[in-house]
Structure 1
Amino acid sequence: MYRQIRLQPDNTRYQRIVYRGSQNEELMDYELLTVTFGVNCAPYLAIRTLFQLADDVSARWPLASKVLKQYMYVDDVLAGAHDRETAIQTRDELIEALKGAGFPLRKWTSNTTSILAGLPKEHLLKEEFLNIDDLSEAKMLGIRWNAAQDAFYFNVQHIQVRPSYSKREVLSCVAKLFDPAGWLGPIVVKAKILMQDIWLAKIDWDDSLPRNLYLRWEQFLNNYRYIGEIRVPRWIHFTPWDEIEFHGFCDASEKAYAAAVYVKIRERNSDSVPYINLLVGKTKVAPVKTISLPRLELCGALLLSELINTLLPQLEISQPVVYKWTDSTIVLSWLKKPPCSWTTFVANRVAKIEELVGSSGWNHVDSADNPADLGSRGAWHGPNWLTKEQSQWPLHEKDIAFNTELEQKTTRVHATSVQDYEDILDRFSDFSRALRVVARIFRFYKRALPTHQQTVTENQSELTTEEIRGAKALGGIPGSEKKTRVQIMAALPPERTELTRPFANTGIDFTGPFDIQFHPTVKMVRVQPKNHQNKKATNRCPVCSDNHRLVFCRELRRMEAAERLRAVLVHHHCANCLSPHHMAKTCPSPKSCDRCQQRHHSLLHVGEQGRDGGGESIVLDNDTTARRKRQPYTAKASGESSDDEVVLILDADETDLH
């Protein structure tokens, strides 16, 4: 076949040989023009050429195109049909399609003489096929086929039993067992197990086998000759209009595990007994490292999944019905849950099974009825209950719930408890200083952590406002409320431990005394903090002690302008809205004087002609903005001497009046 495929002229220079007919001739350099044996790409080029030929002839010879794509094995054609007419038409199309490409077909063989009729005798495999008998045999893919019986069989050579065998001789005999479909699984697996034990014995290639291994090999040879008597029918009684089911079985032992796929054929709308035949099988020896039997059963289930996934795409069945059977309830329990529920070994194989054939459709079968058992129970035709109705089958997967904790993945939880928690604020006497220390710790953390190094670009020494706020929010530092509530001496009243503005709650033992400077000729005025009164009496007038606001006080309105201003300032009321708790500069009210549009209340407006008719005027030496310069307010009455002067100095921060 290779010699019938011509290369492109540009590629022939890569196939050069040196040759001469005799020693007297001169060496000549030749270029091979066709595909050559021994080149690595030769099989690919041959198969790829057939695929291209199938595409080229698909419109003219569709049957031949289908055979070239699906039933070609390098240079052998293994194909068939469900009736003679289709088979003859396929034969003729193949001959014409391959003949036009330079591939004449030879060695024809069939189980029906009418298909071979009309072909030249020299094109047949043997002339005996024109009269099919027991001698009409052919060999394909290492397996022999008898045309008369339409069955496959194995031709094995007799091996004489000798007193001793070496490891090399045993390996040579085992390698001669060619079983691509797995029909000899129960026999081949015993030879595999024996070879594994020979390797574990660590004997040399030419050393004789130990006594125990020799006896096992002798028993194998005594049964070896019966392999030639095995017959596997080629036709499984399948036609496109029949009902077909696939049943896969898997089993395992301590030495090996196996899988087998059976096909069940029943005539549609008929009560006849179905035909059950073995399609394929596969066996593997257990690993040398000892593992548990449930794990080996799971390996058998995986082997069955791989076998089904490889077989079904090769069959022309659109929606195959597949049943999967195992005698391990633990494996069924593993397949019921997601792979993440189990340990690594089990999880990997369960995930692979779900990927190949899915986790549904698995059923339980008794060990005695499992044909995949490494014994010979039902090796060729499956268990007896397969021929019965589905209601008489073993327990179905939905009829019982299997559950196991074997190989279940354990969830580890780490719990920690902190005892004797130390508050970082206990190390500092100043909350702001503690906050800055924590902010610098967070700065170091962000600059040292690789994930934050790209975001830190500045190399400044001073802390920013964002860093301080972030330290307070993310540092787990208690608020300043906790620090102020920690008392060194006796417990203080609640109104003196709340966080408020400076001088809202005062006391001699809390924030110290405050100084009052006044003129010696003026009667001393008592100054009270603005939040000194009870919360229930926040609307009590400081002038008449009645329950109303200062702006509605009749006594205040009867006062002269100077006395009115003095009362507002002494009682710490706002000169703009006459409300307590804040001063004029921080007054939220947008109102102003109705007469001069200045920032004070209309009741406090004074000028050359006061509205009280006294002709007095009030002069403020320093307006409300002067308190940022820490200058005292000085209130003077123009009608009095300059000695009648009141000066108030309050020890407060810059947000209060000075």
Structure 2
Amino acid sequence: MADIESMFHQVRVPDEDADLLRFLWWPGGNLNEPVEEYRMCVHLFGATSSPSCASYALRRTAQDAATTTSPEAAETILKNFYVDDCLKSVATEEEAVHLVKELTKLCASGGFHLTKWVSNSRALLCSIPGNERAAEVKDLDLQQDELPVERALGVQWCTNSDSFKFGIQLPDKPCTRRGILSVVSSVYNPMGFLAPLLLPVKLILRNLCKDKTGWDEEIPQKPQQTWKKWLADLDKLSELSVSRCFKSSSFGLTKVAQIHHFSDASQDGYGVVSYLLLTNEQEQKHICFLMGKSRVAPLKQVTIPRMELTAAMVSVKVDRVLKEELQVPLTHSIFWTDSTTVLRYIENEALRFKTFVANRVSFIREATTRAQWKYVNTSQNPADQASRGLKIESFMSSDNWFQGPSFLSEPDDWPEQPEQSTYLSESDEEVKTSAAVSCMNPVVDNTDPVNQLVEYYSSWYRLKKATAWILRLKEILQHLREKRKELESAVKESEHDTGKHKPMVEEQMNICKKNLEKRMLTVKELSRAEMELIKYSQRQTYAEEIKALQQGNKSVKRTSPIFKLDPCLLNRSAMPEEAKHPVLLSKQHRVAYLILHHTHLETGCGGRNLVLARL
């Protein structure tokens, strides 16, 4: 582990942006002296932009030097840095010594000084100058002194034993909802080592929320006793130790690596725990803990099968994360659950499910195959601890959470799978029931042509355009009819032989037609089409209201959905007509949907308020 010294200050701010970092300064801190104005030329601590800018500069350094440095060093910067902290593990001390030299050289090429080195290898620390080591190891006798306990991204790392420790120092907070939440949030548990221990406290918070206990009210006696007992027992965690390495050096080269996920749910919550199963060249097996998760059940009551399915979905999400982060060749993962109902849901292909189950089954089936899912008895399922929670005494005395079930190392002893697991009854409450519809008379298609036009288009603009062309055609036909009548009437008045003048009539008609067809659609025509579509929508949805207003009634019926809008009210303000009398549209009509969808896209999906304002 190492740290970049004053990382933000190694990255300069562009001159055109430096004015944004101006500040005032009184020389010597004397407020009586004239104030001086300065500006920062490098990124400063506390600015929101500093971490991303500094990280970009570091990554760009690795990319620019990719051809002149070792691939391991460049990959370390790209994948093993968290802002200014570097955490990297290699197989041998020789590789580590070489990597430190390459990393130091590579960072220096970008103006970064890599320092504060800590390692579980004494040989590696000896190869690093004393002034470049972390303060805790600078003055140590590396031949005999014990290596210190360091904090790596919030987790205590005992470098001497190369293991994670849990010396938790909790803040002193009042026994209220706010106080409990503050204390629980201060327990940093990114890998889920302590997931079974935190669930009981989360349950206290959930129940207090359910009882609508105030944030600063003193909690009732029973949960208060549970909380104080949990705090008192927390000191016992100082005895807990989890090995940092997935395998010991004596295990040898890994031949096969496979992730096994266990999921479970109860009335209190649901949880997931994942293990890495390693096989070496001698076919020996080794199991190690990867990650655990524990979540409380929602306040709204959910059935156990649904929670079991949700836990299974979480295990699929965890699998994606681990596959992306673990730099190890992996075979297909195995997912274990003690719910035969979940297995039936996943394996079923014949029946349709309700939305909750259908969405989760779809997610699971897209990421996994049916062969990857296995049944495990509840007594052998370590995720049961994450779904029900454990007291600290039980957690400390049991090795099952960190070591995993013993049957994993013996494939011949894997739990026997239940028969007919694919059978799912149509009476299951999550299966959609089909409704039978019968008709006494044959259906006659009386669909309105305008309605067919409206249903055909999925774009408001294309619908307006098509309607405008139809109205144009209607206008042309009406104009031609009138023109024909005028020409024929003129011919009859001048001469009795109309056949002689028939070519002249046709010629005039063609001239008229060409003049009309040359024009492109105008804004006026599009506006007219829009108004006709709106009127059509209103005639379909508010026929009774329109009829009542046309008959001279001052108001529509009280049962009308637009009665409160008082559509007959006239405003004598100096406002445009469309502002005084906004168009009324039914939200159930397709025209209203198309207009709303068009406005939504026009505003760039800008949110409800912007869409409504534009609409």
Q: Give the TM-score normalised by structure 2.
A: 0.66
Amino acid at match of 2:347: K
- Identical columns (%): 27
Alignment partner, residue 124 of structure 1: 133
1:346-374 superposed Cα distances (whole Å, 9 cap, x missing partner)? 01111222334454401000000001112
Q: Judge which range, 286-295 or 235-244, deviates more.
A: 235-244
Query: 1:276·1:382 contact (CA, 8 Å) conserved in 2?
Result: yes
- Post-superposition shift, 1:217? 1.2
In the aligned structure 1, how far is the partner of 2:279 from the partner of 2:100? 29
Q: Evaluate the alpha carbon distance shift between residue 103 and residue 296 of structure 1 in structure 2; reply closer, same or farther with a 3 A threshold.
A: same
Structure 1 residue aligned with 2:155: 143
Partner of 2:236: 226
| Residue identity in the other structure for 1:258 | G
- The one-letter code sitting in structure 1 at the alignment partner of 2:276 is V
Aligned to 1:113: 122
Is the aligned partner of 1:305 residue 2:305? no
**Alignment counterpart, residue 85 of structure 1, candidates 85, 91, 94:** 94
Does residue 185 of structure 1 match 2:198? Answer: no
Question: 2:435: which partner in 1?
Answer: 412
1:130 is paired with a residue whose SS is coil
Instruction: Indicate whether 1:156 and 2:168 are aligned.
Output: yes
Higher Cα Rg, which structure: 1
Equivalent position SS for 1:330: helix
Per the alignment, residue 403 of structure 1 pairs with: 424
Spell out, residue by residue over 1:56-99, the C-alpha distance to the aligned partner (whole angstroms, 9 max, x if none).
12222222101101110111110021112211110110111112
Query: Which of 3, 25, 44 lines up with 1:19 in the alignment?
Result: 25
Distance, in Å, in 1 between the alignment partners of 2:170 and 2:12 is 44
Contact 1:249-1:370 at 8 Å conserved across structures: yes
Matched, 1:334 2:345: yes
2:43 aligned with 1:44: no
Alpha-carbon distance in structure 1 between the residues aligned to 2:141 and 2:276: 30
- For 1:312, the aligned partner's letter is K
Residue in 2 that maps onto 1:195: 205
Shift of residue 119, structure 1, vs aligned partner: 1.7
* 1:56 aligns to 2:64 (yes or no): yes
User: Do 1:109 and 1:129's aligned partners in 2 also have CA atoms closer than 8 Å?
Assistant: no
Contact 2:354 2:431 in 1 (8 A): yes
Normalising by structure 1, we get a TM-score of: 0.62
Superposition deviation, residue 335 in structure 1: 0.8
Of 446, 451, 455, 2:449 maps to 446
The corresponding residue for 2:224 is 214
Determine the C-alpha separation between the residues in 1 that align with 2:51 and 2:425. Answer: 50
- Find the partner of 1:102 among 101, 111, 115: 111
Query: Which residue of the other structure, out of 299, 306, 317, is the alignment partner of 1:288?
Result: 299
Alignment-derived partner of residue 257 in structure 1:
270
Q: Which amino acid aligns with 2:26?
A: R
Does structure 2 retain, via aligned residues, the 8 Å contact 1:134–1:146? no
Contact residue 261 and residue 274 of structure 2 kept, 8 A: yes
Report whether the alignment pairs 1:246 with 2:225: no
**Per-residue deviation at 1:299?**
0.8
Moved more, 124-133 or 23-32: 124-133
Q: Aligned-residue CA RMSD in angstroms?
A: 2.9
**1:351: which partner in 2?**
362
Q: Take 2:177 and 2:157, find their aligned partners in 1: how far apart are those partners?
A: 32
- Structure 1: where are the runs of 5+ without partners? 422-437, 462-658
Sort the Cα spacing of 1:296 and 1:447 in 2 relative to 1 into closer, same or farther, 3 A: closer
Where does the alignment leave 5 or more consecutive residues of structure 2 unmatched? 1-6, 457-465, 479-615
Distance 2:51 2:180 in 1: 32
- Asked if 2 retains the 8 angstrom alpha-carbon contact of 1:339 and 1:346, the reply is no
- Which has the higher relative contact order, 1 or 2, with Cα contacts under 8 A spaced 6 or more apart? 2
Q: State the AA in 1 paired with 2:209.
A: W
Q: Residues 234 and 416 from structure 1, CA distance in 2 versus in 1: closer, same or farther, beyond 3 angstroms?
A: same
Deviations 1:464-493 (A, max 9, x none): xxxxxxxxxxxxxxxxxxxxxxxxxxxxxx
* Contact kept? 1:250, 1:325, Cα under 8 Å: yes
Rounded Cα–Cα distance in structure 2 between residues aligned with 1:107 and 1:3: 17
CA contact (8 A) 2:202 2:296 kept: yes
Matching residue's letter, 2:153: L
* Contact 1:309–1:357 under 8 Å retained in 2: no
Q: Work out whether 1:205 is the aligned partner of 2:215.
A: yes
How many residues align structurally? Answer: 436
How far apart, in 1, do the equivalents of 2:272 and 2:141 lie?
A: 37
The letter for the 2-side match of 1:63 is E
Check whether the contact 1:341–1:408 (CA below 8 A) recurs between aligned residues: yes
How far residue 42 of structure 1 moved from its aligned partner, in angstroms, is: 1.4
Contact 1:339 1:348 (8 Å CA) reproduced: no
Counterpart CA distance in 1 for 2:326 and 2:193 is 18
* 1:132–1:148 CA contact under 8 A, matched in 2: no
Cα pair distance change 1:243/1:448, threshold 3 Å: closer
Which residue does 1:514 correspond to in 2? Answer: none
In 2, the alpha carbon distance for the partners of 1:339 and 1:252 equals: 26
Going from structure 1 to structure 2, the CA distance change for 1:28 and 1:11 (only over 3 Å counts) comes to same
Judge conservation of contact 1:5–1:46 (CA < 8 Å) in 2: yes
Q: Give the equivalent residue in structure 1 for 2:10.
A: 4
* Residue type of the alignment partner of 2:401: A
| Pair 77,240 (structure 1): closer, same or farther in 2 beyond 3 Å | farther
Superposed CA offset, 1:160-197 (max 9, x none):
9x9x8233332222122110100101001111111111
Verify: 1:174 aligned to 2:181, yes or no. no
* Change over 3 Å in CA distance of 1:445–1:196 after alignment to 2: closer
